[in-house]
Amino acid sequence: MSKTIFELRDVYFSYLGKFPALCGVDITIEQGSKISVIGANGSGKSTLLHLLDGLIFADKGSVKFSGKELSEKSFNDDNFSKVFRRSVGLVFQNPDVQLFCPTVKEDILFGPLQLGMDKEEIKKRFDEFVAILDIEELLERSPHQLSIGEKRKVAIASSLIINPDILILDEPTAGLDPLTTRHIMDLLIQANASGKTIITSTHDLHIVEEISDLVYVFSRDKKIIKSGQADIILKDTELLQANNLVHIHSHRHKDKTHVHPHAHLDHHPGS
Protein backbone atom coordinates (compact mmCIF):
# COMPACT_ATOMS: atom_id res chain seq x y z
CA MET A 1 0.00 0.00 0.00
CA SER A 2 1.44 3.38 -1.00
CA LYS A 3 2.02 6.05 1.57
CA THR A 4 0.10 9.35 1.53
CA ILE A 5 2.54 12.25 1.54
CA PHE A 6 0.22 15.21 1.06
CA GLU A 7 -3.35 15.42 2.19
CA LEU A 8 -5.33 18.63 1.66
CA ARG A 9 -8.84 18.96 3.03
CA ASP A 10 -11.15 21.89 2.25
CA VAL A 11 -8.25 24.31 1.86
CA TYR A 12 -8.89 28.02 1.45
CA PHE A 13 -6.26 30.67 0.80
CA SER A 14 -6.48 34.34 -0.13
CA TYR A 15 -3.85 37.03 -0.76
CA LEU A 16 -4.00 39.99 1.65
CA GLY A 17 -7.17 38.43 3.03
CA LYS A 18 -9.27 39.74 0.13
CA PHE A 19 -8.09 38.13 -3.12
CA PRO A 20 -9.15 34.46 -3.03
CA ALA A 21 -6.67 32.05 -4.64
CA LEU A 22 -7.94 28.66 -3.43
CA CYS A 23 -11.54 27.95 -2.44
CA GLY A 24 -12.14 24.57 -0.86
CA VAL A 25 -9.45 22.32 -2.37
CA ASP A 26 -9.20 18.60 -1.58
CA ILE A 27 -6.18 16.65 -2.84
CA THR A 28 -4.45 13.43 -1.80
CA ILE A 29 -0.97 12.71 -3.16
CA GLU A 30 0.61 9.28 -2.85
CA GLN A 31 4.33 8.65 -2.66
CA GLY A 32 5.97 7.93 -6.02
CA SER A 33 3.01 9.18 -8.06
CA LYS A 34 2.96 11.65 -10.94
CA ILE A 35 0.42 14.43 -10.49
CA SER A 36 -0.46 17.26 -12.84
CA VAL A 37 -2.40 20.37 -12.04
CA ILE A 38 -3.92 22.10 -15.05
CA GLY A 39 -6.04 25.21 -15.31
CA ALA A 40 -6.29 28.67 -16.80
CA ASN A 41 -4.09 31.59 -15.70
CA GLY A 42 -4.99 32.76 -12.20
CA SER A 43 -6.88 29.59 -11.29
CA GLY A 44 -4.71 28.96 -8.21
CA LYS A 45 -2.18 26.41 -9.50
CA SER A 46 0.96 28.27 -8.35
CA THR A 47 -0.66 29.07 -5.00
CA LEU A 48 -1.32 25.37 -4.48
CA LEU A 49 2.32 24.51 -5.25
CA HIS A 50 3.61 27.16 -2.82
CA LEU A 51 1.25 25.76 -0.20
CA LEU A 52 2.63 22.24 -0.78
CA ASP A 53 6.17 23.61 -0.41
CA GLY A 54 5.36 25.20 2.95
CA LEU A 55 5.97 28.75 1.72
CA ILE A 56 2.44 29.92 2.46
CA PHE A 57 -0.16 28.44 4.79
CA ALA A 58 -3.90 27.79 4.47
CA ASP A 59 -6.35 30.36 5.85
CA LYS A 60 -8.84 27.54 6.44
CA GLY A 61 -8.75 23.78 6.09
CA SER A 62 -5.94 21.32 6.61
CA VAL A 63 -2.66 20.62 4.76
CA LYS A 64 -0.82 17.53 6.01
CA PHE A 65 2.63 16.33 5.03
CA SER A 66 3.26 12.68 6.02
CA GLY A 67 0.47 13.03 8.57
CA LYS A 68 1.84 16.23 10.14
CA GLU A 69 -0.06 19.48 9.81
CA LEU A 70 1.85 22.14 7.87
CA SER A 71 1.74 25.51 9.62
CA GLU A 72 4.10 28.40 10.37
CA LYS A 73 4.55 26.88 13.81
CA SER A 74 5.71 23.53 12.44
CA PHE A 75 8.52 25.30 10.54
CA ASN A 76 9.77 26.89 13.79
CA ASP A 77 11.05 23.41 14.59
CA ASP A 78 14.52 23.33 12.95
CA ASN A 79 14.56 19.54 12.65
CA PHE A 80 11.20 19.37 10.93
CA SER A 81 12.11 22.32 8.69
CA LYS A 82 15.34 20.62 7.55
CA VAL A 83 13.64 17.25 6.97
CA PHE A 84 10.85 18.93 4.99
CA ARG A 85 13.21 21.05 2.86
CA ARG A 86 15.31 17.99 2.08
CA SER A 87 12.21 16.03 1.13
CA VAL A 88 10.42 18.63 -1.01
CA GLY A 89 11.96 20.62 -3.85
CA LEU A 90 10.15 23.37 -5.77
CA VAL A 91 11.09 24.65 -9.22
CA PHE A 92 9.60 28.13 -9.51
CA GLN A 93 7.70 29.35 -12.54
CA ASN A 94 10.07 32.27 -13.06
CA PRO A 95 13.68 31.00 -13.07
CA ASP A 96 14.92 34.55 -12.38
CA VAL A 97 13.36 34.21 -8.94
CA GLN A 98 15.05 30.92 -8.20
CA LEU A 99 18.50 31.82 -9.53
CA PHE A 100 19.52 34.58 -7.15
CA CYS A 101 23.25 33.88 -6.70
CA PRO A 102 25.98 35.64 -8.68
CA THR A 103 26.99 32.46 -10.55
CA VAL A 104 25.28 29.30 -11.76
CA LYS A 105 27.61 27.14 -9.67
CA GLU A 106 26.75 29.00 -6.46
CA ASP A 107 23.05 28.72 -7.29
CA ILE A 108 23.20 24.95 -7.73
CA LEU A 109 25.19 24.55 -4.52
CA PHE A 110 23.03 26.90 -2.45
CA GLY A 111 20.41 24.36 -1.34
CA PRO A 112 22.69 21.47 -0.26
CA LEU A 113 24.97 23.87 1.62
CA GLN A 114 22.10 25.44 3.57
CA LEU A 115 20.78 21.99 4.44
CA GLY A 116 24.15 20.92 5.79
CA MET A 117 24.65 18.05 3.35
CA ASP A 118 27.98 16.26 3.39
CA LYS A 119 30.59 18.11 1.24
CA GLU A 120 31.66 14.91 -0.55
CA GLU A 121 28.07 14.03 -1.34
CA ILE A 122 27.43 17.57 -2.61
CA LYS A 123 30.44 17.35 -4.92
CA LYS A 124 29.40 13.93 -6.23
CA ARG A 125 25.83 15.02 -6.96
CA PHE A 126 27.00 18.33 -8.41
CA ASP A 127 29.29 16.60 -10.92
CA GLU A 128 26.52 14.13 -11.75
CA PHE A 129 23.93 16.83 -12.51
CA VAL A 130 26.35 19.01 -14.41
CA ALA A 131 27.06 16.02 -16.68
CA ILE A 132 23.39 14.96 -17.05
CA LEU A 133 22.21 18.48 -17.88
CA ASP A 134 25.30 19.32 -19.93
CA ILE A 135 25.81 22.69 -18.20
CA GLU A 136 29.59 22.55 -17.60
CA GLU A 137 30.26 25.71 -19.61
CA LEU A 138 27.56 27.66 -17.74
CA LEU A 139 28.93 27.16 -14.22
CA GLU A 140 30.96 30.38 -13.87
CA ARG A 141 28.41 32.50 -15.72
CA SER A 142 25.91 34.81 -14.07
CA PRO A 143 22.26 33.64 -14.39
CA HIS A 144 21.37 36.83 -16.29
CA GLN A 145 23.64 35.70 -19.13
CA LEU A 146 21.65 32.50 -19.73
CA SER A 147 18.82 31.77 -22.18
CA ILE A 148 15.41 30.81 -20.76
CA GLY A 149 16.04 27.11 -21.51
CA GLU A 150 19.42 27.21 -19.76
CA LYS A 151 17.87 29.03 -16.78
CA ARG A 152 15.21 26.32 -16.45
CA LYS A 153 17.79 23.54 -16.61
CA VAL A 154 19.84 25.25 -13.88
CA ALA A 155 16.72 25.86 -11.77
CA ILE A 156 15.81 22.16 -12.01
CA ALA A 157 19.40 21.18 -11.19
CA SER A 158 19.37 23.49 -8.14
CA SER A 159 16.31 21.63 -6.80
CA LEU A 160 17.27 18.09 -7.88
CA ILE A 161 20.76 18.30 -6.33
CA ILE A 162 19.07 18.26 -2.89
CA ASN A 163 17.75 14.82 -3.92
CA PRO A 164 14.19 15.52 -2.72
CA ASP A 165 11.65 12.69 -2.56
CA ILE A 166 9.02 15.07 -3.92
CA LEU A 167 9.71 17.41 -6.80
CA ILE A 168 7.19 20.20 -7.44
CA LEU A 169 7.44 22.04 -10.77
CA ASP A 170 5.59 25.20 -11.73
CA GLU A 171 5.28 25.40 -15.54
CA PRO A 172 8.62 23.66 -16.20
CA THR A 173 8.32 23.76 -20.00
CA ALA A 174 6.82 27.23 -20.51
CA GLY A 175 8.56 29.07 -23.34
CA LEU A 176 10.95 26.24 -24.15
CA ASP A 177 11.86 24.85 -27.56
CA PRO A 178 10.80 21.23 -28.31
CA LEU A 179 14.26 19.72 -27.76
CA THR A 180 14.76 21.35 -24.33
CA THR A 181 11.16 20.38 -23.40
CA ARG A 182 11.98 16.77 -24.31
CA HIS A 183 15.18 16.91 -22.26
CA ILE A 184 13.33 18.17 -19.18
CA MET A 185 10.52 15.63 -19.65
CA ASP A 186 13.02 12.77 -19.82
CA LEU A 187 14.62 14.03 -16.64
CA LEU A 188 11.27 14.10 -14.82
CA ILE A 189 10.25 10.66 -16.06
CA GLN A 190 13.62 9.28 -14.97
CA ALA A 191 13.28 10.93 -11.54
CA ASN A 192 9.81 9.37 -11.14
CA ALA A 193 11.12 5.96 -12.22
CA SER A 194 13.68 6.20 -9.44
CA GLY A 195 10.86 6.63 -6.90
CA LYS A 196 10.39 10.38 -6.70
CA THR A 197 6.95 11.97 -6.55
CA ILE A 198 6.48 14.51 -9.34
CA ILE A 199 3.88 17.28 -9.02
CA THR A 200 3.63 19.54 -12.06
CA SER A 201 1.55 22.56 -12.86
CA THR A 202 1.31 23.19 -16.59
CA HIS A 203 -0.57 24.65 -19.55
CA ASP A 204 1.18 22.35 -22.00
CA LEU A 205 -1.47 19.71 -22.50
CA HIS A 206 0.81 17.70 -24.79
CA ILE A 207 3.12 16.84 -21.87
CA VAL A 208 0.35 16.03 -19.38
CA GLU A 209 -0.21 12.38 -20.32
CA GLU A 210 3.47 11.50 -20.03
CA ILE A 211 4.01 13.11 -16.66
CA SER A 212 0.71 12.26 -14.92
CA ASP A 213 -0.95 9.30 -13.31
CA LEU A 214 -3.60 11.68 -12.05
CA VAL A 215 -4.67 15.10 -13.32
CA TYR A 216 -6.42 17.80 -11.30
CA VAL A 217 -8.28 20.46 -13.30
CA PHE A 218 -8.68 23.86 -11.67
CA SER A 219 -11.64 26.04 -12.61
CA ARG A 220 -11.67 29.82 -12.75
CA ASP A 221 -13.45 29.92 -9.39
CA LYS A 222 -10.24 28.48 -7.78
CA LYS A 223 -11.67 25.02 -7.15
CA ILE A 224 -10.84 21.57 -8.45
CA ILE A 225 -13.55 20.96 -10.97
CA LYS A 226 -12.46 17.45 -11.96
CA SER A 227 -9.71 14.93 -11.38
CA GLY A 228 -8.89 11.65 -13.04
CA GLN A 229 -6.54 9.75 -15.33
CA ALA A 230 -4.78 11.87 -17.91
CA ASP A 231 -6.24 10.15 -21.00
CA ILE A 232 -9.80 10.54 -19.72
CA ILE A 233 -9.35 14.21 -18.77
CA LEU A 234 -7.66 15.07 -22.06
CA LYS A 235 -10.53 13.55 -24.06
CA ASP A 236 -13.08 15.70 -22.23
CA THR A 237 -13.03 18.56 -24.73
CA GLU A 238 -16.03 20.24 -23.17
CA LEU A 239 -14.30 20.43 -19.79
CA LEU A 240 -11.05 21.71 -21.29
CA GLN A 241 -12.86 24.30 -23.37
CA ALA A 242 -14.91 25.53 -20.40
CA ASN A 243 -11.68 26.06 -18.46
CA ASN A 244 -9.67 27.91 -21.12
CA LEU A 245 -7.37 24.96 -21.82
CA VAL A 246 -8.35 24.59 -25.50
CA HIS A 247 -9.45 27.17 -28.00
CA ILE A 248 -11.50 27.22 -31.17
CA HIS A 249 -9.27 26.95 -34.19
CA SER A 250 -10.45 28.02 -37.63
CA HIS A 251 -8.69 27.23 -40.92
CA ARG A 252 -9.51 26.79 -44.59
CA HIS A 253 -9.27 23.76 -46.86
CA LYS A 254 -9.82 24.76 -50.48
CA ASP A 255 -13.12 26.66 -50.30
CA LYS A 256 -14.33 25.35 -46.94
CA THR A 257 -13.69 26.82 -43.50
CA HIS A 258 -13.26 24.27 -40.70
CA VAL A 259 -13.85 25.21 -37.09
CA HIS A 260 -12.82 22.81 -34.30
CA PRO A 261 -11.36 22.79 -30.76
CA HIS A 262 -7.58 22.92 -30.69
CA ALA A 263 -5.87 21.35 -27.66
CA HIS A 264 -2.23 21.28 -28.84
CA LEU A 265 -2.22 17.55 -28.13
CA ASP A 266 -0.79 16.61 -31.51
CA HIS A 267 2.43 18.62 -31.20
CA HIS A 268 4.21 16.20 -28.97
CA PRO A 269 7.94 16.39 -29.83
CA GLY A 270 8.31 12.65 -29.61
CA SER A 271 5.17 11.66 -31.48
Partner 1 sequence: MKNSGNFVGRSLMGVLSFLKDSVFAEDYASRNGFLQGLDPRLKAVSFALFFITAIFLKRAELLILLYLICLALAVLSKINLGYFLKRTWVFIPLFSLFIAIPAIFSVFSPGKVIATLQLHYFQLTITREGLQAAVLFVLRVLVSVSYAVILSLTTRHTELLRVLCIFKIPQVFIMTLGMCYRYIYLFVEIIENTYLSIKSRTGGIAHYKKGQKIVAWNIAYLWQRSYVLSQEVYSAMLSRGYSGEPVILDSFKAKSGDWAWLFLAVIFFLTLLYLNGKLI
List residues near partner 1 by CB under 8 A: 50, 53, 55, 78, 81-82, 85-86, 89-90, 92, 94, 96-103, 105-106, 109-111, 113-116, 119, 122, 140, 142-144, 158-159, 162
Which one, 108 or 245, has the nearer CB to partner 1? Answer: 108
Determine the straight-line distance between the first and last CA of the chain, rounded to whole angstroms. 34
Cα separation, 166 vs 102, in Å, equals 27
Phi, psi of 210 (to 5 degrees): -70, -30
Q: How far apart are CA 134 and CA 136, in angstroms?
A: 6
Phi then psi for residue 89, to 5 deg, are: -120, 135
Beta-strand runs (E) in 66-114: 68-69, 88-91
Shortest Å, Cβ 110 to partner 1: 6
Nearest CB to partner 1, comparing residues 101 and 225: 101
User: In the complex, what is the shortest distance from the CB of residue 127 to partner 1, in angstroms, rounded to a whole number?
Assistant: 14
Least distance from partner 1 to the Cβ atom of residue 109, Å: 5
CB of 153 to partner 1, least distance (A): 16
Number of other CB atoms surrounding residue 13 within 10 Å? 23
Please, which residue, 55 or 179, has the CB nearer to partner 1? 55
| CB 237, min distance to partner 1, A | 35
Closest to partner 1 by CB, 12 vs 75, is: 75
Interaxial angle between packed helices 178-193 and 119-133, expressed in degrees from 0 to 180 and rounded to the nearest 10: 140
Closer CB to partner 1, 188 or 263, in the complex? 188
Chain centroid to Cα 160, Å, comes to: 12
Minimum CB separation of residue 159 from partner 1 in Å reads 7
How many other CB atoms are found less than 10 A from the CB of residue 166? 23
Residue closest to 159 by CA, chosen among 134, 186, 196, 193: 196
Q: Which is nearer to partner 1, 129 or 205 (CB)?
A: 129
212: Cβ–Cβ under 8 A, 6 or more apart, which residues? 34, 35, 36, 200, 230
